[in-house]
């Protein structure tokens, strides 16, 4: 199923399997995910230089199958831990959570942020090409942004231990908007654009873990799969529409710098919504694995 290729099913499984040690497990998995763009953006560019796009896609599909099918068939066999205790389940009325103001505000913030983040990732290559980079060089910058994601995710546990959930959410979304605005305003030199791409990747890496822990930080682990799915659904739709919407908006906005300026404003709006995205009394009574 297509959903099996998204992070969210893995996040639900890891949260259940590892319980209170879930941040470490989530970090390990997303570190591997962050390396994907580091490895495959340059590889895809190299293949596309010598092969048709259909052949390139076919080769990548074969590589995907060779790695993921055996891993799922033979490695992912850990037993499913018991559900949280009945007392923990009653600690929060999870049926009312999706209709609550904090949940709706948080969902709006993450949706706007996902739209901006994925539009930036896809539009980065044409932005760099418009500023004089070759397609291969632009692909390498995208890959180095993936390396930044990997580095950023190694820092999330420390960040989570030293900041509150609201402060952390607002800060990361704002930093993402700041790097987007930097792309809009800075035209060179090329090494500076590389540095901005790495910084943007570091923020994206932390934002992935922020979303993975958004439910548990506010409402505990009971019904994590349901609440996380409801929270992620609009954000996933926004990320799917972002590449098309970004390309369509680039022309009316005067080019990719104008698009990046608009996406930075979207991130600012997301940060404002995030201010109301935490319940006044976070309900964390269901952290039993």
In tens, the pLDDT along 88-123 reads 444 445 568 878 888 899 999 999 999 998 898 888
**Domains in the chain: boundaries:** 2-274
The CATH code that applies to domain 2-274 is: 1.20.1250.20
Single out the residue of 66, 130, 110, 279 nearest to residue 207, CA to CA: 110
- CB of 37 closer than 8 Å to CB of 142: yes
148-152, 179-183, 227-231, range with the lowest pLDDT? 148-152
**pLDDT tens readout for residues 47-69:** 888 888 899 889 989 988 898 88
Report the percent of the chain where pLDDT is more than 90. Answer: 16
Q: What pLDDT is stored for residue 80 in this prediction? A: 67
Q: What pLDDT is stored for residue 265 in this prediction? A: 94
Residue with tokens 């090329």: 190
> How large is the average pLDDT for residues 4-22?
68
30 membership: H or E segment, kind and range: helix 22-50
Task: Quickly state the pLDDT bin for 181 (edges 50, 70, 90).
Answer: very high
Burial class (CB in 10 A: 0-12, 13-18, 19+), 129: middle
- CB of 34 closer than 8 Å to CB of 153: yes
How does DSSP classify residue 5?
A: G
- CB of 165 closer than 8 Å to CB of 245: no
**pLDDT tens readout for residues 108-164:** 999 999 999 889 888 888 888 888 777 888 888 887 787 787 778 788 878 888 888
**Average pLDDT across the chain, whole number:** 80
* Alpha-carbon torsion (253, 259, 264, 269), positive or negative: positive
> How large is the average pLDDT for residues 168-182?
92
Residue with tokens 């995710």: 153
> How large is the average pLDDT for residues 238-251?
87
Strongest mean pLDDT among 140-144, 167-171, 216-220:
167-171
Question: 131 versus 197: which is more confidently predicted?
Answer: 197
Query: Residue 60 corresponds to which tokens in the numbers above?
Result: 């990548």
Q: What pLDDT is stored for residue 89 in this prediction? A: 45
pTM exceeds 0.95 = no
Angle value at C-alpha 89, between 275 and 216, nearest 5 degrees:
35
Single out the residue of 225, 222, 173, 167 nearest to residue 200, CA to CA: 173
């Amino acid at each position: 199923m297509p959903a099996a290729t998204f992070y969210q099913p893995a996040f639900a499984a890891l949260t259940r399997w590892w319980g209170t040690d879930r941040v470490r497990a989530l970090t390990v998995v997303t570190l591997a995910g962050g390396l994907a763009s580091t490895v495959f953006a340059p590889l895809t560019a190299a293949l596309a230089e010598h092969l048709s796009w259909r052949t390139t896609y076919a080769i990548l599909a074969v590589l995907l199958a060779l790695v993921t099918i055996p891993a799922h068939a033979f490695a992912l066999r850990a037993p499913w831990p018991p559900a949280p205790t009945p007392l923990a389940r009653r600690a929060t009325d999870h049926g009312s959570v999706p209709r609550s103001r904090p949940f709706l505000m948080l969902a709006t913030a993450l949706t706007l942020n996902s739209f901006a983040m994925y539009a930036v990732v896809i539009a980065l290559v044409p932005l760099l090409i418009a500023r004089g980079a070759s397609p291969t060089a632009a692909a390498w910058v995208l890959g180095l942004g993936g390396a930044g994601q990997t580095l950023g995710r190694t820092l999330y546990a420390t960040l989570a231990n030293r900041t509150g959930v609201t402060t952390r959410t607002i800060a990361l979304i704002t930093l993402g908007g700041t790097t987007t605005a930097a792309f809009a305003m800075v035209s060179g030199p090329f090494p500076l654009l590389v540095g901005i791409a790495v910084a943007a990747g570091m923020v994206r890496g932390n934002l992935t873990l922020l979303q993975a822990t958004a439910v548990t930080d506010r409402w505990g682990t009971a019904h994590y799969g349901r609440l996380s799915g409801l929270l992620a659904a609009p954000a996933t739709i926004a990320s799917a529409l972002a590449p098309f919407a970004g390309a369509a908006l680039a022309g009316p906005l005067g080019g990719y710098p104008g698009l990046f300026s608009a996406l930075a404003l979207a991130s600012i709006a997301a940060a404002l919504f995030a201010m109301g995205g935490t319940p006044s009394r976070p309900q964390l009574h269901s952290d039993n694995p």
